[in-house]
Amino acid sequence: MMTKAISLALLCGLMVVLPGSPLADGADLTRVRIGYPSPSASFSPLFVAKEAGLFEKHGLSVELLYLQGVQITQVHVARQVDFTVTGAPLPLQASVEGADLILIGSSIDSFIYKLIVVPSITRPEDLRGKTIGITRFGSLPDVAIRQVLKKWGMNADRDVKLLQIGRMTDMVVALSGKRIDAGVISDPTSFQAEKMGMRRLLDMADIGIEFSNVALIVSREYSRAHRDLVLRFLKAYIEGTRRFLTDKQIGIKALRKYTGMQDQEILAQTYDLFAAKYIKKVPKISLKGVENTIAMIAERNPKAKNRRPEEFVDLSLMEELENTGFVKSVWP
């Protein structure tokens, strides 16, 4: 219901304020809308930048919108958000089909979902014939589990059944209710599932595939028209990353607010894992990660074949922040 309400508001009522238009609320702030697809620790730099007032520091009044599944890219293509911070497959798929979306940064370059299973499953081969929960077809969990199964010599369309569950919290309910045998789950929800007696079969980061997992997305048109604003967004995001990685207290506070998790032990575990293993200090784009993502899309969409990663990225923005000394000022 929440997702439908957001969608309706975005496509109808929120059109009275155009993206990037100035606010008249005292300070000289520019209003921007940023979409994110999941209440996951993957988006901690974004959450911390918001909570620590770093967007305001750079002249931006930010509204964060939780938009699930393919909806996040549909809303971006419809120009009802200015930026999205999301897995790269959906915006890249849209760009392959002609959408005006590009990657300007990437803060996680590996699969980081956990494959959580019922206790009776102890080996990858035990998954044959079983039902695996994902959020939505075409989503990042869908892409991730297909690659994992492929590495394990299985075909996702033939050897298992993929079932759309929706939210991560619903995945835990489906596992405990034996509606599914396994689920592709993000943190901190995966820790919650383990605490309830489920098993972690795999941390997908350990399969060694470089992949654009958390990408910063904008349209070419918006970036050309508002380059300075896009640079300010990146500055706040970089500072949010540093604040998350160096300030555990605010990191956990942001995780509690945006994930809804109240268990302090799970929050601390999640923070430690993401700060130490997953989130890069500087969200520079990995062209290899983009290349691998495009190759995965090409397995199901021939239009993506022979496409080069450079077609879908703008490296100049991060390069400018490095060349002008901003990145070094944040990370001396």
The tens digit of pLDDT for each residue in 68-108 reads: 878 999 999 999 999 999 999 999 999 999 999 999 999 99
Is 70 exceeded by the pLDDT of residue 161? yes
pTM (predicted TM-score): 0.84
Q: Which of 177, 207, 237 is the last residue of a domain?
A: 207
pLDDT for position 13: 42
pLDDT for position 171: 96
Tell whether 166 and 192 lie within a shared domain.
yes
Tell whether 42 and 22 lie within a shared domain.
yes
Q: Residue with structure tokens 């809303």?
A: 75
The residue range of the domain holding 132 is 114-207
The per-residue pLDDT of the chain, averaged, comes to 92
Tell whether 275 and 326 lie within a shared domain.
yes
Tell whether 94 and 28 lie within a shared domain.
yes
Tell whether 106 and 172 lie within a shared domain.
no
Tell whether 127 and 202 lie within a shared domain.
yes
Q: Which of 142, 176, 207 is the last residue of a domain?
A: 207
pLDDT for position 68: 86
Q: Please give the distance of CA 322 from its chain centroid, rounded to a whole number.
A: 24
Tell whether 26 and 11 lie within a shared domain.
yes
Tell whether 14 and 96 lie within a shared domain.
yes
pLDDT for position 235: 99
Band (pLDDT 50/70/90 cuts) for residue 202 is very high
For residues 219 and 5, the model is more confident at: 219
Q: Which of 185, 207, 229 is the last residue of a domain?
A: 207
pLDDT for position 27: 60
Is 90 exceeded by the pLDDT of residue 24? no
Is 60 exceeded by the pLDDT of residue 12? no
Is 70 exceeded by the pLDDT of residue 151? yes
Tell whether 319 and 214 lie within a shared domain.
yes
Tell whether 183 and 222 lie within a shared domain.
no
Is 90 exceeded by the pLDDT of residue 286? yes
Q: How many CB atoms lie within 10 A of CB 320?
A: 14
Tell whether 93 and 215 lie within a shared domain.
yes
CATH of the domain at 136: 3.40.190.10
- The total of structural domains in the chain comes to 2
Tell whether 243 and 307 lie within a shared domain.
yes
